[in-house]
Structure 1
Amino acid sequence: MAGQSRAGVLFDVDGTLVDTTYLHAVAWWQALRLEEHDVPMAEIHRAIGMGSDKILDHWLGGDRDTSRDDRMTTAHDTLYATWWERLRPLPAATDLLRAVAGLGLAVVLASSARERELAVLRRVLGADDVLAAATSSADADESKPAPDILEAALAQSGVEPGRCVFVGDSVWDVQAAAKLDIACIGLTCGGTSAAELTDAGAIATYPDPAGLLAALDGSAIARLAHH
């Protein structure tokens, strides 16, 4: 698809299409406790969606001993992986992807999950036949709120920055999209409120993929398809 000029919708996956946000929060809470860091779970939740290369600095400060970071990251990954076989899509997530494809728009997963984890998420969604592209952490030098993963998604799909919308569930998603002047639709199913997403710059908010699907005809996605 790369090299073509087309309109499309980029989708965050964790917390936006697949119900993983709180599992990540619990896994990080346990991983931090292994190194005797007592970070309240609400504080952990609010940072989910930020990349793993930034998240420990966010919680623990940048001027700390970082020699145990890899151990904590590995612990999170190991703990989170125990949930892989039980992951569930959020309401109507697959139907939403198919409906967007039905409008003639490219459907792109802009995920910063690791490749093996992305394969699990794609299997949960069961919509590979309508995907124009799907990114993983291997495609970005820097994670959200840096826009690298969105730049990779655009490059792989051939979608123009001026002819796309990003759908995400965290303030980090909205901030990453803003750096490329991409409009971002916020979903509150990851546990971030509509007010927070709007304050961060989201152009509209919906409760979950089902809510966006129900309102699709009047959404920024439909307007994109008709231009």
Structure 2
Amino acid sequence: MTRAAVFDVDGTLVDTNHLHVTTWWEALRQAGHRVPMHAVHRAVGLGSEDLVAHLLGDERDKDEDDRLGAAHKALYGQYFDRLPALKDAGPLLRRLHSDGWTVVLATSASGAELSALRRAIDADDVIAATASSDDVEEGKPAPEPVEHALELAGALAERSVFVGDTVWDMRAGRRAGVRCVGVLCGGIPRADLVEAGAEAVYADPAGLLASLADSPLA
């Protein structure tokens, strides 16, 4: 039976979380919102509308959501040609593929952004499918992105593992019924990832690859 290794992308395979923090902070600043960078950092991993709602609250002018999202996309898009993969991101996916795992991505990114991320990872030949924000009605921490990734892989939740870097990833994976692995390279503390559902936590893709034999992906 198929077993799926499902991966978040931003902050998990590609070192982009702090780019998102800076560009969201600037988009908000340009619109007159003073939001601390540490608050933006904790919201990274949510979809665009959910991130704005999390930071500005339900009393915000919701007509502004699309403008804020577009401003962030334009600012972040300046980095598309130089997004840095985290160490051993590609080799980790290749190793899992060779070990018999079906590798699937589950990300809030889509379109040109997703293409840029995949170029950075440079492992398209072993990525079976991608569940993007275009494919689901609700993003993380709802389970739908992970569940859709499992559908694409044809895998059961109990035979699958989700790797991510935020509490939103861990909550989504837990709700989808998969085992969850956290990585610290997105900047979220180990204790927060564990509390949100991580069964094991590693420094980054290189750390997970080095400890693969003793991990939930063994």
- What TM-score range do you get, normalising by the shorter chain? over 0.9
Cα distance in 2 for partners of 1:128, 1:65 equals 40
**CA RMSD, 1 decimal:** 0.9
- What is the number of equivalent residue pairs in this alignment? 218
Give how far 1:157 is off: 1.3
Conserved in 2, the CA contact under 8 Å of 1:53 and 1:142?
no
Q: What's the % identity of the aligned pairs?
A: 50
**Contact conserved, 1:53 with 1:143, CA < 8 A, in 2?**
no
Q: Tell me, what secondary structure is at the counterpart of 1:9?
A: strand
Q: What is the distance in 2 between the residues matched to 1:135 and 1:123?
A: 16
- How far did 1:114 drift? 1.4
Aligned pair 1:202/2:198, yes or no?
yes
Residue 14 (structure 2) aligns with: 18
Where do 1:57-76 residues align within 5 Å? Answer: 57-76=53-72
Find the counterpart in structure 2 of residue 118 from structure 1.
114
State the shift of 1:147 in Å. Answer: 1.3
Aligned 8 A contact 1:34 1:72 in 2: no
| Secondary structure at 2:146 match in 1 | helix
Q: Distance in 2 between the 1:191 and 1:154 partners? A: 26
Correspondence for 2:93 among 84, 94, 97? 97
Displacement of 1:92:
0.6
Deviates more, 1:66-75 or 1:19-28: 66-75
1:77 maps to 73
**Dislocated runs of 4+, deviation >4 Å:** none
Equivalent residue for 1:28, pick from 24, 27, 40: 24
CA contact (8 A) 1:107 1:130 kept: yes
Displacement of 1:103:
0.8
Which residue number corresponds to residue 144 of structure 1?
A: 140
SS at match of 1:221: coil
In structure 2, the partner of 1:225 is: none
Quote how far apart the aligned CAs of 1:111 are: 1.4
Q: CA deviation at 1:53?
A: 2.2
1:9 aligned onto 2:12 = no
Contact 1:51/1:143, CA 8 A, preserved across alignment: yes
The equivalent of 1:162 in structure 2 is 158
Structure 2 runs not aligned, ≥5 long: none
- What are the ranges of 5 or more consecutive residues in structure 1 without an aligned counterpart? 223-227
**Distance in 2, Cα, partners of 1:7 & 1:22:** 32
SS in 1 for 2:63: coil
- Mapped to 1, the partners of 2:117 and 2:207 lie a distance apart of 21
CA distance in 2, matches of 1:65, 1:133: 36
* Matching of residues 168-187 of structure 1 within 5 Å: 168-187=164-183
TM-score of the aligned structures, taking structure 2 as reference length: 0.98
| TM-score, scaled relative to structure 1 | 0.94
Deviations 1:130-152 (A, max 9, x none): 11111211111111111111121
